Structure 1
Amino acid sequence: MKKILILTSAFSFVYFIFGLLSASWSLLDWSPVTIISYLFVSFVTTDILEAYLNSWRAK
């Protein structure tokens, strides 16, 4: 089960990095809003998946 959480965190981190890269390539610049929004999305994704895994494990 810990492997799944590690993979989830790694996926969120990779998504964050790709988000920054695509933001720097597009019209958006490296603004704090962009960075915070990608961080927020990656953390929320991790939290939702972790909550789902915990409820699935509890069954």
Structure 2
Amino acid sequence: MLLMKAAAAFLSTDSGATRTEVGLLTAMAVIFAVLAMTDFGGQLGHFFVSFKSHMADGKPL
């Protein structure tokens, strides 16, 4: 609900962004919201955390 209100406020302001940029930003916001609500978002976050610690250890891929 809060995300939709923020998106509506963002879309209503004339910030000089083109329709394409606004569309892309809105699409990304929707995708991230869906990922955050599903288990896939948690899986992705877990992957990035383990990947970062793996790189910090200096191990090669």
Establish whether TM, by shorter chain, passes 0.5. Answer: no
Higher Rg of the two aligned structures:
2
Q: Which structure carries more relative contact order (alpha carbon 8 Å, separation 6+)? A: 1
Q: TM-score scaled to structure 1, two decimals?
A: 0.40
Q: TM-score scaled to structure 2, two decimals?
A: 0.40
